[in-house]
């Protein structure tokens, strides 16, 4: 194929694949089967390899994780990603509720949500386009894993509104994908992952994005770090807005009018936990009003307006060379 023709074909494929990618990742309504998409992508990768002079960072090939990185760039979070205080029983939750009501009075409602057991990440959007994704790291400095996060299909590349937004979420590996991955690794005589959280973290820390792309990772977004171009007054409103924008939020969250309803929700999910298709390690409880969150503020490292109720570790039976251990 001569130079002129190759350039034409590359530009044509880039446009076509961007359209298909937008349909698949944002509209979730692909107009071509995956096999056709993959075939066109393969053709473009080949053509671009033969014509490095036509390289373009915003080619669709950059989405499927072309270049293997030597290291991850450091990223400073504009709004630090805090950690959470823990509660281990009902009394801890009642103590938390008392502290909150001492701070803001008795007219307080909570939002309770499942605590997804994965890896906390932050996604940055400018003009409604996904520009960068990073690990939580130590809460202030994380690692740029944009290329790996691009392989998570539930991360929208373009939002419904052109907002500048930093959104937080938990990337995770569904239980079924974890079981399949470990079964494959066992066949290959490779070391197994201990749990889905380690498998998700290990996958997102791969320098070769093609490996992350093969791990069927997913994400639930749970909060906003920074939001320009729109305003919300409460946490339940921000969750609703995030799903309007095209994000995947966890549908099990519940607005609770008092701590008794929170305790009921916590006990309910402690029972239903094994039936979920993903792992959770507890429940996160947040004061719903953003104004009251502001009033309550933070301790040295945790918000006073949120707490994580931790479930006891699940009974796991580990077969170790035929010896049954209950750990």
Ligand X SMILES: CC(C)(C)c1nc(N2CCN(c3ncccn3)CC2)c2cc(C(N)=O)c(N)nc2n1
Active site amino acids? 115
Distance CA 284, CA 266 (A): 9
For 168-184, b/e burial (b = at least 16 CB within 10 A) is bbbbbbbeebbeebbee
Q: Which of residues 127-146 bind ligand X (CB under 6 A)?
A: 136
Q: Which stretch binds ligand X (CB under 6 A): 23-31, 113-121, 158-166, 200-208?
A: 113-121
Which residues pair with residue 228 across a beta bridge? Answer: 164
The residue (of 84 and 87) whose beta carbon lies closer to ligand X is 84
| Structural contact between residues 48 and 42, judged by C-beta atoms closer than 8 angstroms | no
Cβ proximity to ligand X, 10 vs 306, nearer residue: 306
Q: Does 173 bind ligand X (CB under 6 A)?
A: no
Which stretch, 71-79, 110-118, 148-156, 318-326, contacts ligand X (CB under 6 A)?
Answer: 110-118
Contact 296, 100 (CB under 8 A): yes
Judged by beta carbon, residue 44 or residue 108, the one nearer ligand X is 108
Kindly tell me the burial class for residue 70, based on how many C-beta atoms sit within 10 Å of its own C-beta (0-12, 13-18, 19 or more).
exposed
Q: Does 303 bind ligand X (CB under 6 A)?
A: yes
CA dihedral 287, 289, 294, 297 (to 10 degrees): 0
By CB under 6 A, name the one of 145, 284, 285, 287 that touches ligand X: 284
Is 198 a residue that touches ligand X (CB under 6 A)?
A: no
User: Does residue 170 bind ligand X (CB under 6 A)?
Assistant: yes
Q: Judged by CB under 6 A, which of 137, 142, 209, 223 binds ligand X?
A: 223
Which residues make beta-bridge pairs with 234? 289
Tell me the window of 58-66, 89-97, 111-119, 263-271 that interacts with ligand X (CB under 6 A).
111-119
**Shortest Å, Cβ 283 to ligand X:** 9
- Is the distance from CB of 99 to CB of 321 less than 8 angstroms? no
Residue from 222, 269, 278, 309 in contact with ligand X (CB under 6 A): 222
The answer to whether 279 and 193 are in contact (CB under 8 A) is: no
236 lies in the site for ligand X, by CB under 6 A: no
What is the C-alpha to C-alpha distance for residues 5 and 257, in angstroms, rounded to an integer? 65
Task: Give yes or no for residue 286 binding ligand X (CB under 6 A).
Answer: yes
Where does this chain bind ligand X (CB under 6 A)? 82-84, 113, 115-116, 120, 136, 170, 222-223, 284, 286, 303, 306
């Amino acid at each position: 194929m001569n130079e002129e023709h190759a350039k034409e074909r590359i530009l044509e494929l880039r446009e076509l694949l961007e359209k298909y990618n937008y349909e698949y990742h944002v509209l979730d309504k692909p107009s071509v089967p995956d096999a056709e998409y993959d075939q066109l992508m393969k053709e473009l990768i080949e053509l671009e390899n033969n014509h490095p002079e036509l390289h373009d960072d915003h080619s669709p090939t950059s989405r499927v994780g072309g270049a293997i990185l030597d290291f991850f760039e450091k990223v400073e979070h504009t709004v630090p990603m805090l950690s959470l205080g823990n509660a281990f029983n009902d009394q801890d939750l009642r103590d938390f509720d008392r502290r909150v009501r001492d701070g803001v009075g008795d007219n307080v409602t909570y939002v309770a949500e499942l605590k997804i057991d994965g890896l906390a990440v932050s996604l940055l959007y400018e003009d409604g386009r996904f520009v960068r994704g990073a690990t939580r790291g130590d809460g202030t400095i994380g690692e740029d894993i944009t290329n790996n996060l691009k392989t998570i299909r539930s991360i929208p590349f373009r939002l419904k509104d052109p907002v500048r937004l930093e959104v937080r979420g938990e990337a995770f590996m569904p239980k079924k994908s974890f079981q399949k991955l470990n079964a494959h690794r066992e066949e290959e005589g490779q070391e197994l992952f201990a749990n889905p959280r380690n498998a998700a973290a290990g996958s997102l820390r791969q320098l070769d994005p093609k490996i992350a792309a093969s791990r069927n990772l997913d994400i639930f977004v749970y909060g906003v770090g920074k939001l320009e171009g729109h305003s919300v007054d409460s946490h339940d409103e921000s969750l609703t807005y995030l799903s309007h924008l095209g994000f995947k939020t966890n549908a099990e969250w519940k607005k609770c009018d008092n701590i008794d309803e929170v305790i009921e929700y916590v006990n309910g999910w402690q029972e239903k936990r094994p039936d979920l298709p993903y792992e959770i390690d507890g429940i996160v409880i947040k004061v719903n009003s953003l104004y009251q969150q502001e009033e309550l503020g933070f301790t040295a490292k945790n918000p006073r307006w949120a707490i994580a109720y931790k479930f006891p570790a699940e009974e796991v039976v580990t077969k170790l060379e035929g010896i049954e251990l209950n750990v």
